[in-house]
Structure 1
Amino acid sequence: MMPLRYLLLATVVVCNSGCSMMIYNSYFSDSDKEAEPQATLADLSPAIMPDKTAELPAVDLDTLVATYEEVLEVTDDADIRLRVQRRLAGLEMKRGEQQLYEQEAVGGQFGLAISAYQSLLNNHPNHPGNDRLLYQLSKAYDLEGNSDQSMLVLDQLVTDYPSSGHYGEAQFRRAEIFFSRGDYPNAGLAYNEVIRQGANHQHYQNALYMYGWSLFKQERYRASLKPFSQVLDNHVPADNNVQTLERGQRELTQDVFKVMSIVFSYLDGANTIAEVYDSLGERHYLPLLYDNLGQHYLKQERYRDSAEAYRAYINRYPSADQSPVFYARLIDAYIAGGFPDDVLQEKENYINSYGIYSDYWQQKTEQSRDYIRPFLEQYLPELARHYHAKAQGGREGLAAPKNNQLKQQERTRLEAVAVSDFLTAGNYYQQFIDTFPEDDQVPEMHFLFAESRFEAGVFDEAIEAYEVVAYKYPDDKRGASAGYSAIVAYGFLLQQLPEASKQVVDGISVEETWVRLKIASQLRFASTYQYDPRAAAVLTKSAEELLALKEYQHAIAAARQLTRRDPPAEQGLRKTAWIVIGHSAFELQQYDQAENAYQQTLQVLAPNDSDRQAIVDRLAASVYKQAEQALAAGDAVLAVKQFLRVADVAPSSAISATARYDAANTLMASANYGSAIVVMDAFRNDYPDNPLSADIPAKMVVAYEANGEWAKAGDELTAIYQSSEDEAIKQESLYQAAENYAKAGDKPTAILRYRSYAHAYPQPFPIAMEARYQLSELYLDANEDYKRRFWLKKMIAADKGAGVERTERSRYLAAFSSSVLADDEYQRFKQQRLTLPLKNSLKKKKSALDKTLKAYNQVVDYGVEEFATLATYRIASVYSQLSKDLMSSQRPGNLDALALEQYDILLEEQAFPFEEKAIAIHEANIQRSWAGVYDAWVKKSFAAMSELLPARYGKKERQGDSANAIY
């Protein structure tokens, strides 16, 4: 807030520059209105350039003066003569003001008024109203530009009339003059006299503020804190939220906080705050004093001083709600200063002091804990990841070749440090979980906790955490990895079991208990994540372990799960099932010997033997099982060879087609899509009536997509769409076909498919909206604007009529579509020119304006921030453009210079409100940044305001190393 003295000086400068303004009428009252309350400095209002075309008062001053002079000539009544003389002095004062208004130069206008007031004072020294005359005389001298003489009159007024109603005003004017002259001691005395008039005096608040500055200028820093504190007492809200104050009060309050921060920094920093307010008494805004001091130090790059300022508050008020917030700023100061060790230590201290396990947390309400949670949410993961990374780095360092020569004792010590760091990291992960059980990061924290416990060798806790991630949370990202890691952890745990764990107690050993828990975990993994690439191997392991435990029925059940999967998702699927089933059914599972036996059997069978076909089928089954054995060994190439060999050894077997089908699946599972395509294409040619042929197109789609052959995948999907009788499959296939053609760059075909989908399938609503959106984008690329707007309008209508099916996405797409259509209206508005006759073109312009505003208001109604900011910016631009168009509109050619000037003034009067509207709307858009919204359109509003109001928004920051003076 600019101190009042500068405003006065600025006013004098304006007057001396030749502006004909009756400015000082706001400071003083007329001498001929003694019965009325007199105007004072408190009535100061912004200087406004008067309208020179306005009519002057009808009464002529010369006539009035002449009239009063005639009265003096005809009356001998002393009282009447005195009143007339006082009135004449007032008229001379008014005459001087009028001359000041009418002339460009300043000086000499108030000589007669000064003489009149001096004469009255000299001739009637004891008149009770002389204080008002002195007040007017000081005004006349001031207007005359004689501030020294004005000061002398003010001195006389305050000396001779200490009880005058003008006393406080005069003291305030004296103080301002003293301050402007740099006479800070006398300024302080005068300001103090104003303060003594009481809090109800009109200049009390300004006097307090300037009294503090006077003391500051005298380097009486500690003394200045009391009046500054009194200013804060009267302005800072109870909730300490100074942002709720009106602008003037807010800026004044912020200025006081700044100067007080400087004072505290000159003295003993935060210790001075404690000392001063131990004396003055506690204030509700004390946290703001500490905070401003901390920020002051931070701007000066005194990072440790900033941190210590916050620490002083924390130590003094350890239970305050603000303490954890200040502790976070303490940490930020160390971060800004580049003190990583201090940052780490202070974050750990923060957790210990305010975390969920602390006494502070236990004593606070949920509302108070809300001050802490944001920092815990930040620091806990940071500390956990720090120690986790440190532990990993330590262990990697141990494994580095350069450390191979370390002594065992040192290796043991370093390993112990790494284990300790893993445990510490896990503890922080666990504390995050306990603090924020509903947070989206909790599954990740559980997983990282399990990882850190795994690395620390605490496998039982790792297993528990892994299984929480795998089976409690629907975590697509980590669930399968966590489930598999739990199985691995079981393996390590079993390796660590002591020899004694193998001893049987009550019919079962500790080791077997853990083995059975491991199998249960494996089966759960295979069931939950049946399509995971590791599921088959895990299930295989379970079957093998069940077999080892002689749990034959459970082993068969596990194997049956693999054989019943349709279609098989992984290479080892059937292999494992037939191996386990073969061991349980035939005990030996020697399929190569079985093949040899079946071959021998066929050699001795008669050609017409009724069992021949059955043996052929068993022969085919034995080869089929060998293929699955190859898959179990991870030899996909051999497995495919064995599958295809079934047709060679048993061409009449029904399993021949299935084997070739499985060969294709194996190739698919091994990502050999090119070979898979060849096999599947041959399969449907050779077995067109086989039920399995129905699945081939879908598999071909997967293969073509995996190979990036999007158009062929689209062709397969189109075929599925055309042939399927299942409406759901047709619908899904059509949409996927459109997507694939789009990926292939075949935009015309993609348009056809999307258009067919959009017309045929309005449900489900979200997908139908996406189809319309894709069509709009494709038509945009094709430069077919008319068709694009057709689908934009479709999206708007569909969203409007969606009812309960309306989604955030549909609302977004409708807002997007509306913004495009609104932009069309905006362009039409801009193209509408203002030409003569102006009334006609302005009517058209107004119509275009209304349509544009309506369109953008519809965009705002969607409540989508991205487009709301765009629409707000455009609405402001509309008003701004209208203002500019008015000013640049065609002028009539038959106007003379004066008429043209008047015409321009009228246009400016018409244009100005639109510019004001534009400013208000831009400012509303800018205010979104206070809530964290700062997108391209908010930025454009800032840019627009820098042109519309450059004094406020066009400023550039300037940095300097030091400041020598503070104003």
Structure 2
Amino acid sequence: MRRLVPTFFTALCFLSPVMAQESFRVDLGRDGETIGDMRPVFLKFESRPMPAISASEVARRYHRLFLNSDEPEVRIDALNRLSNIRDKSGADIGFSPSEEQKVYREAISSYESILERGSFGGRLDELLYQMAKAHALTGNHEDSIQRLKQLVGLYPDSALVPEARFRIAESAFASGRYAEAETGYQLLVESGENGELGTKARYMLGWSQFKQGARAWDRAANTFVTVLDEFLPSAQSLENVNESSVDTIDDTFRVLALMAARKRGPETLISWLDESRMRPWAHLLFDRLADYYAVQGQTEASVAVNEAFIHYAPDHAKVPAFLLQLVDVWQRAGQPERVRGARAEFVARFATDAGYDRLNPGEQKQWQGFSRMLADFQYNRGTNSANTNDVTIGEAAFALAAGYYEGLARYSVRIGEILRLAGDARLQAGQFPEALANFRRAAYEVNYNEAADAGWAAVSLLREGLDGRRTGQGFTPGLEEVSAEADRFAERFSGDARSAGLMADLSDRWLTAGEHQRALDYSARVITRGKASPRERYAAWQVTAKVRQQQDEYGLAERAWTQALELAENSDIGNLPNNPVGADEIASIRKQLATVVYRQGERAAANGKIEEAVRHFRRVGSVLPGSDLAIKGRYDAANTLLKASDWPGAIEDLERFRSDFPGHELASGISDKLVHAWVSSGQPALAASELLLVAEGQPDPWELRLRAAELLHEAGNVAERNGLYRDYLATGIVAEDGPGHLQLQTMRYRLMESGVEGDYWREAMVRAELDSPWHSPDTLQWASRASLVLGARAAAVFTSIELTHPLEDSLARKQSALETARQRFLDAEALGGEAVLSESLYRRAELYRGLARDLMASSVPADLNELETMQYQMLLEEEAYPFEEKAIRLHTENHRRITSRGYDAWIGRSLGVLADLHPGRYERKVKWLSWNMEAGDGA
């Protein structure tokens, strides 16, 4: 067990050679503990010069004198001088132990003889003292004490009384008469005797009181406390204890501890001490009591004593030692938990700068050692708890470990290492701001060989906080803070290989945050950094490419994507075991590269740079062959040429595209584009062929076929056009609206105009126009004209029918033909209106006039006589006359139209007929002029 008693440096007193005989008295430092142990000391002599001979020679002569003299006074005087010589010089006086005892027996008889005669010339108190000594030496203790009592009683003022009292009390103590011994020692103490005898008397007084039992222990304790006060009056005295006093002091501590232990322990000890002042030796007393308990195996009691002193004197310089002693006590008791608790208490008490400064170097070293042990223990405890998913206990343990590490860091020469451990413990405890502070201090504020790792830990912690992997109250780092930490790390540890990867990561994060310039700045730092790995440069080029692409800087983006692709396809990066660039990622890069090439084509096309646009569009296929984007590039290249009216180039690219990608969705629009290109380039027949080709695969081909028909019409390919018209009209299609009706009528008109089955299409046109609710000027004109033509043809049929006998039959046929022609003309009027009315009136009139003429010119039956013939002719005239009248009326109506319509050829014809019919009225030499009533004609 640790001992708190300081080393007593004992000053050994050696007697120097005596050059003169001096007075002397009892030296209690060399006396025995009992009278039986003492050597007789006789009278006190005045100093006088020693003979100029050696002490041994002088002793030899006095020895011979003692043996040869018969005079008691002479013998006593010789013995006295022998004792003086021995005491002063240490010389051998020539007596063996057996001789010495025999000599003192003889001396006693001399003393008795002198007393009986009453002839002693010296002081009687001294003679009684010498006799007591002699009796004690020869074993007659009772006689010795009796003489001492005589001395005290007869000569109370003698200088020898204090020692006599001491010997009397000592005898009582040795005989077990402790109360009597207490009285004797008390009298001596109260006499004011100073020096060693008084101190020894007080010491023995305490023992006398102690021996009387527990009832007298409080008196004994007070006495022993006084003894210690005399021996150890100051702190300096603890360092300079006389060797002869060591045992006495040690026994005093021992007996005080013993008494306290048998009462109430430290409580009793404190009651014996004066609380108004702190004795310099008090800590030794507590230490002795703690030792006592420890030796007895009473660990708890020993601990209580140490704690009692700490409470009793919290500011005492020895408090650290007592706290350390607690550690030792628990260690000896095999109580590891209590050991840790004691170490923790020691560390906690002196954790402040002021507290730490109270410790001596050895204690400071132990404080550091305890701090490290406690920190490591709690860290391991936290680790074990974490491994068993006991999060709460684990975090608490890590927090304790961090506190110890942080406290230790203030005084450790390995401050960087300790701070880093503290940071890690705070990290495990979920105390992220504190962990960050420790990492930063280790990295940037102290001299630490692994400062870069500490700095990296700070960066990593902030990044994990930013990612949400480390969350806690007061810890919400933003990207700006992470960047600042990264910049600090890169500046301080510029040679660290991790900086490039850090910059690459930040460039990606700033890209995600939409801060494109900062993303570019960080990626540039990676790209231009010589020590950046292929993987890091690959990431930086990717960020650069994405930023440039988002900023529509497609040329720069293409360069960046190209660099990224080269790195991705390089074996140094592509086959990294932990993070290889897979085929999917490479394919994605190629897609992005193809995209920016394509975008360059789009931009060039928008700016009218046709050749550049086409070149970029076509390059997409070399970057990403077979991809949708490459196909679209081919398609857009053809479109660009098409928009630029480069018809040959567009047609070539479009046809090649359709040939290479016949099933692609974009190919479905190629036909329209080719049609446009052929039409625009003046090749409508090819456009029509394209439409007809496409129409073959359509469920409803007629839209395309009709477009083709229009193109064939434009190309002058009438035969093929007509074939399409006929096929379409043969489907029985019925117009559903005005445009549809116009389209159908146009087809009929064109078929009619082409001369193929003209009357058929004229009839179809007229019929459709008459039946349709929709009309247009063109369709009405076409239909009315067709009806006129049909009417004229019917009129020709009518004219070709001769009236023969039987007249009824031929007349019926002729009348039917007339009616057919008449209806055609009426239909023409209904459709054409004013535009055809003059012609229609004329033609209808001529039908009636022709019928009348043919009736009049018809032959008379041959079997009629003259009268019957005349009657028959009169009948024909009567039948013809109405028809002629109708003709005249219609021609007249036509004539009258001059006033509203003006003159035209058909009106002129009607006038000619009227002139033939009524020459007097209509045959005039006049010129018919049309009259235009428009304003400004001068009328």
User: Structure 2 length normalisation: TM-score?
Assistant: 0.48
User: Structure 1 length normalisation: TM-score?
Assistant: 0.47
Please identify the structure whose Cα radius of gyration is greater. Answer: 2
- Structure scoring higher RCO (CA < 8 A, sep ≥ 6) equals 2
